[in-house]
A and B are shown apart, each in its own frame.
Chain A
């Protein structure tokens, strides 16, 4: 069974701090890694994707991938209260279906 694991949280950080969200996956053949943000009652919104080992930056967001450790993370710099949401890690493993983790709930307090 291919699994994607995330700490459910909540992860609480003060406004302006860096939020660090982590995800591990079980299938070594996984090729593509995605971070989605989901507000309560809403659909997943794609915020980052990464395919190669290393870091990928987009504005306040940085995705980090380490395939040897089967680990992917998302850093959010200068966190804002509007970043408060559930962050879903999703992985493709040899097919185009996405396998999602349970998500980490992030709370940014003023």
Chain B
């Protein structure tokens, strides 16, 4: 069964450093998302991406964040200068059709620890 994959599973970085989180969405999916979950809190939407551009972003997704689809398979989230409060699980998700009625499938997540 096709699935979303993410690398690395765990990333430890120092405050102020840049990190890139990688995702390979399900191959025939067209809409891609990043969510994050701070320990003990709810899953929060960060950004959605379709046709090589951002469709929607949340207030969390400020200028320190960027997303890219550098090739036909990868979808990346970059945090330019990490802060302690960026420590969280980051989940990539994808769906075939971004209309409201299509379900999103999540990858296993990357645990980001900023020290």
Contacts and interface: CB of A to CB of B under 8 A. Distances in A.
Interface in A89-104: 90, 92, 94-103
A102 B41 contact: yes
B42 A98 contact: no
B42 A43 contact: no
Interface size class of B (residues with CB under 8 A): 20 to 34
B100 A31 contact: yes
B86 to A, nearest CB: 18
Please tell me the size bucket of the interface on A.
Answer: 20 to 34
Contacts of B109: 42-43
Contacts, number: 65
A102 B41 CA distance: 7
B43 A96 contact: no
A96 B42 contact: no
B78 to A, nearest CB: 20
Contact of A88 (B43, B45, B107): B43
11 contacts: A32-B101, A43-B106, A44-B91, A92-B100, A92-B101, A96-B48, A96-B95, A96-B100, A97-B58, A98-B104, A99-B45
Given A32-B100, A103-B42, 15 more contacts: A31-B100, A34-B103, A42-B108, A43-B89, A43-B108, A46-B104, A88-B42, A92-B100, A96-B99, A96-B102, A97-B56, A97-B58, A98-B33, A98-B35, A100-B44
